[in-house]
Structure 1
Amino acid sequence: PTGSGKTTVMNLMNRFYDVDQGAVKIDDIDIREMDLDALRSHVGIVLQESVLFSGTIRDNIVFGKPDATDEEVVAAAQQAHIHDFIMTLDDGYQTAVSEEDNIFSTGQKQLISIARTIITGPALLILDEATSNVDTVTESHIQKAMDNVIQGRTSFVIAHRLKTILNADRIIVLKDGRIIEEGSHQELLDEKGFYAELYNNQFVFE
């Protein structure tokens, strides 16, 4: 549910603030013992509200890796399923982006932000409600892009819409700031608890 603490967990992982008790550990190392820049350089985040900066599309994609080659930019955009759209624009990757002259849909902005994350090659990936503001056609593009970017790295996928997490190795159900259930999708369905009820209610409408 909204307000259960999902995003708080992600903020703690990035040390936007620190825990009052207990510890957040990566590979058994307390993240408070890590250099902040080193920690954050290993974490990629795609947020619910994607942000594009003024400049070109290319500038936006290489934001976290300014020295990226053209080949890396194209490869990231292809993985994010946005390359074909960019190539339909008159100026391609040199297309100017600004707040006033916004030619992108919400979903296209999200795919560009996924490409921006892919190019940095993060070891840990956080997808925070990445598909919540888009239509179902765009959602399927974003889902494919997410499937690409998740490969080979530890990924935290925060979701209200359970369709995006059905294949997760481990699903953790939060409510009122506490973990109430955890397991694979099938294990949680078999428990016939909170998750199973949520899943069955959502898929009635799909």
Structure 2
Amino acid sequence: MTPRILNDGLFFHPDGSSAMDVLKRLAEGTSNHRFDDPFAPAITETDEKIARLERQIRDAEWRVIALKNELERAKQRRVEQEAAQARFAETGEVDPILIPDCTKLAEADEAKRRAAIKDSLDFSLPTELKDAGWTQVGDARVTDYEIIVTIRKPRTDSAINVDLEAEKIVAKVKESVKPFAEEGSVYRLSLRERIAARPQQPREPPS
């Protein structure tokens, strides 16, 4: 006998059970109050923000550590250069550490070459693109391997006001949550049982 996978009832919502799935149903007014957790979208948003901020803080801390290490190496090089300069005064020996790497000079030469390429560049937007509403944005950009020209075309549709649209969705979600808040509602009782059975977030020790 072929085993049957249950996709409904106590185990799965047929239209998906992620926080985004629940939010879409709340916004559309199609929430299944027996299966959906109306608070999951808000809690998931907060959890995602916490994770993003923690990741950004870790990245920033690593960048600070890397910068401090580079600073220490630069300070150590400065000490070694002082010692090498003193040896030169005594022996006439030129230590390689006293020779600059000339990176800035090489970068200046490359910048001149790129400027020359831009000045000699004869680019004109093809007629078919102009006729379709495309225009060039700014000057061409020259990289190590490419010459890049940016073009753009105005949108013909109306952009969505994200803040206003979010306010409308919030109003719809509030309306969809009302059945859970009604006193004596079977949905409220079911939700309370689910919340009670859910593992609680561990509390941080008092500071």
- Considering the TM-score relative to the shorter chain, is it more than 0.5? no
How would you bin the TM-score normalised by the shorter chain? Answer: under 0.3
Higher strand fraction: Structure 1 or Structure 2? Answer: 1
TM-score, structure 2 as length reference: 0.17
Relative contact order, CA 8 A, sep 6+: which one is greater? 1
Higher helix fraction: Structure 1 or Structure 2? Answer: 2
* Pair member with larger Rg: 2
